[in-house]
Amino acid sequence: MLQESSIDPLGAMMIYAPIDLQAVISVVNGEDTMRIPILPSGYVISSDGRANKGMGASSSSSSSSSSGSLLTVAFQILVCHSTLTKQLNMESVATVHTLISSTIQKIKAALDYSD
């Protein structure tokens, strides 16, 4: 797994690319690295841009708003078009849906967020 992450005032990101063990072994043995598909996926958590307007001691206004976060998730998946059937395509869509849903749930759990 290749992985890069960073946290700065704009937000946090985690980018990763799973790599098959056989591909790593072939690179170590001097094979051409251009034949290895590296498909990065990941997510970014950033501010939604709204300022957190809390009520100050001298404020007579009763309105306040809170800021939130935006979650952007991206996955790249290698699919061979020439052998796709309608059934295989629907299975791929279901797999991607499960992958995205479980990733979002894990991020929410890590951030202790509940709906």
If one counts every other C-beta atom within 10 angstroms of the C-beta of residue 15, the result is 15
Tell whether pTM > 0.85: no
pLDDT digits (tens, 9 = 90+) for 69-106: 888 888 887 766 665 566 667 777 888 889 889 988 88
pLDDT tens figures, 97-110: 898 899 888 888 88
Residue with tokens 């709906």: 115
Q: Which two tokens stand for residue 8?
A: 């700065």
Q: What is the DSSP letter of 35?
A: G
Q: Computed from CA positions of residues 31, 32, 36, 41, in that sequence, does the dihedral angle turn out positive or negative?
A: positive
